[in-house]
């Protein structure tokens, strides 16, 4: 399945059909849905994933690379602007968990077991790419 460590595994109530992983310092920079038809959207400081709505979604955050069984796989990069790390979960429901990460640029690969409103499991695979020289 891959060479990775599970950093977080839990269930998140997915209000508004989404879960996210965001820079803890830049929560206000939530990625914006362009059409509402996207399955995954990346912003400068985070990523949001469309899921089945108003139910518990299994969310895993893993360090390293893996290849879980999935229907959807999308990759991008995010900036973590401080040593506060990231939050993962559902911001509207105030159901988030903090995860310590060093400041820097990370590759994020998102796997889901469904597309858009069918996804009930979301994997965020994160990999450190480069440090930041200064706080953004």
pLDDT in tens, 41-55: 999 999 999 999 989
* Alpha-carbon 33 to chain mean position: 15
* Alpha-carbon 133 to chain mean position: 24
Asked, for residue 102, whether it belongs to a domain, the answer is: yes
pLDDT above 90 covers what percent of the chain?
Answer: 78
Cα gap 116→95, rounded to integer Å: 20
Cα gap 75→14, rounded to integer Å: 21
Which tens digits make up the pLDDT trace of 47-97?
999 999 989 999 999 998 888 989 999 999 999 998 899 999 999 899 999
Question: Is the pLDDT score of 22 beyond 70?
Answer: yes
Q: What is the pTM of this model?
A: 0.92
Asked, for residue 136, whether it belongs to a domain, the answer is: no
Strand 2-13 with 56-66, pairing: antiparallel
Asked, for residue 95, whether it belongs to a domain, the answer is: yes
Which DSSP letter does residue 67 get? -
Number of folded domains in the chain? 1
Asked, for residue 52, whether it belongs to a domain, the answer is: yes
Length of the chain: 136
Instruction: Give the sheet arrangement for strand 46-50, strand by strand.
Output: 40-43, 46-50, 18-23, 86-90, 95-99
Question: Is the pLDDT score of 135 beyond 50?
Answer: no
Mean pLDDT, residues 25-37 taken together: 88
Q: Return the CATH number at 6.
A: 2.60.34.30
Asked, for residue 19, whether it belongs to a domain, the answer is: yes
Asked, for residue 135, whether it belongs to a domain, the answer is: no
Which tens digits make up the pLDDT trace of 98-129?
999 999 999 999 999 999 889 999 999 999 99
Q: Which domain holds residue 94?
A: 2-130
Give pLDDT, residue 33: 93
């Amino acid at each position: 399945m891959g060479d990775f460590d599970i950093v977080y595994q839990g269930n998140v109530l997915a209000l508004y059909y989404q879960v996210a992983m965001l820079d803890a310092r830049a929560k206000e920079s939530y990625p914006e849905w362009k059409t509402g038809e996207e399955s995954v959207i990346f912003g400068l400081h985070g990523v949001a994933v469309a899921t089945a709505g108003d139910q518990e979604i299994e969310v895993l955050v893993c360090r390293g690379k893996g290849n879980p069984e999935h229907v959807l796989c999308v990759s991008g990069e995010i900036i973590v602007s401080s040593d506060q790390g990231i939050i993962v979960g559902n911001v509207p429901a105030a159901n988030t968990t903090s995860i310590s990460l060093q400041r820097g640029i990370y590759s994020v690969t998102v796997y889901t077991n469904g597309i858009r409103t069918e996804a009930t499991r979301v994997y965020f695979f994160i990999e450190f790419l480069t440090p930041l020289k200064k706080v953004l």
